[in-house]
Amino acid sequence: MLRYRVPASTTNLAHGFDCLGMALGLFNTITVEPGGTTVTAPGAADDGLARFASEVRDLCASTWGIAVPGFAVTVQGEVPIARGLGSSSTIILGVAAACQQVAGRPFDRVELIRLGAVIEGHPDNVAAAALGGFVVVGEIDGELRCQRFDPPAGVTCEVIIPDFEVKTVEARRVLPGTLSKADHVRGLQHTALIVAALARGDIDGLRGCFTGGWHEQHRAALNPHLHGLRQSSDPHVIGTFLSGSGSTVIRLRREPFADGVRPDADGLQRLA
């Protein structure tokens, strides 16, 4: 039996679409046992999680040119499904790590990110969950590159999880095929400022950076609660944004905050 602890992840951070991510201190434990192709998880009856597990196994086998046995996968933990917190990435990484271990390969998080990005279709969730902390990820000449930074001290995330789902495929369907020059420039400027402030640990430098995300404007119909949650007068709230495509909303806050979740510094871990 192989077990892995994988954190939730929040991505985009309003402007860094498919390139910014941060691991959160909410976790799933992925247990993988050779034999079978089942996935059991709370609320996962019709969520395609078994398909993820099979796809990961098949991709590992073809990439490494080896046979990989079937698995029975059990998911336990705190990361809800279809809420924009990277639940699928926790399973993808856990199964990929099990395949890596069964194949006798070194424990290599970057290799797992590359495999996971193929399955997910975007690299931000798997990069944040694998490496922990705050990550910037992108493709250069066909090569996936990641830059990881320690999460800034003194920041907590208020994780507001509503009682409805937003499927990623639905949230991507409402996005436009092109952006205006104004949206494009604003996105570049805000993304650069967010990266610089987080990398330096400049919490106050993040104020005002999370408004006007182009994808959030188009996803407002799927996440009608976002506007109201942004109307906070609490001086400790640094910024508010959709977690991934929703429906979860993140309020970035200064400590202390009793119900806050700290960004996770460690990422994917093997368990004994």
Instruction: Supply the CATH number for residue 178's domain.
Output: 3.30.70.890
Same domain, 39 and 94: yes
Tell me, yes or no, whether 199 lies in a domain. yes
Q: What is the CATH number of the domain that holds 146?
A: 3.30.230.10
Residue 59 φ then ψ, to 5°: -65, -40
* The pLDDT value given to residue 51: 74
Query: Does residue 162 share a domain with residue 41?
Result: no
- Kindly state whether residues 136 and 16 are assigned to the same domain: yes
Alpha helices by DSSP H, the chain = 49-64, 87-102, 109-120, 124-131, 168-173, 181-200, 214-218, 225-230
pLDDT for 30 equals 93
Are 44 and 127 members of one domain? yes
> What pLDDT is recorded for position 260?
87
Number of domains in the chain: 2
For residue 259, tell me if it sits in a domain.
no
Interatomic CA distance for residues 257 and 166, integer angstroms? 27
> Are residues 136 and 33 part of one domain?
yes
Q: Is residue 136 part of a domain?
A: yes
How many residues are given for the chain? Answer: 272
> Is 100 contained in some domain?
yes
Q: Does residue 217 form part of some domain?
A: yes
Domain with 125 in it: 2-150+264-271
Residues 134 and 190 in one domain: no
Based on the fold, state whether residues 51 and 23 are members of the same structural domain.
yes
Asked whether residue 144 falls in the same domain as residue 37, the answer is yes
Same domain, 31 and 134: yes
Residue 189's nearest CA partner among 164, 160, 210, 217 is 210
pLDDT tens by residue, the chain, 272 residues: 899 999 999 999 999 999 999 999 999 999 998 776 666 655 454 456 667 788 898 999 999 999 888 888 888 999 998 899 999 999 999 999 999 999 999 999 999 999 999 999 899 999 999 999 999 999 999 899 999 999 888 899 999 999 888 888 888 898 988 999 999 999 999 999 999 999 999 999 999 999 989 999 989 889 999 999 998 888 899 999 999 988 999 999 987 677 889 999 999 999 97
Q: Is 36 a member of any domain?
A: yes
